[in-house]
Amino acid sequence: MKRISKKHKSKEIRAQALKQLQETREVIDKKCPDLLDKVGELVQRTQDIEQDQKNSKDAEAVSQDELVIDRHKNLETILKFIELKPHADHLKQELKTLLS
């Protein structure tokens, strides 16, 4: 069964936290008016740098994965072809030379 409870306390806590946040922002704005803007710019720059690094790593990983997947699929296809055509001796000889 689901317990039904009144959430008056959580609403009060949320209201207190928001009030405290507003008061803190007012104090920061009075003492250092440019501080929040500078911090915001710094956060944006670091997020941009992290996103660029992530995108470059993802691009490298994708290209490596595609190579591995393509090579694996190609080998599976060749092996399946050899199973289906056992009389293709010239193909087997060529594969032996390529793989060795």
> Would you kindly state where each structural domain of the chain is located, as residue ranges?
10-99
Q: How many residues does the chain have?
A: 100
Rounded to whole angstroms, how far apart are CA atoms 41 and 35? 10
Q: What is the pLDDT of residue 22?
A: 92
Residue 95 banded pLDDT, cuts 50, 70, 90: confident
Alpha-carbon dihedral of residues 84, 88, 92, 93, nearest 10 degrees? 180
Model confidence over 55-77: pLDDT tens digits?
777 666 665 555 556 667 777 78
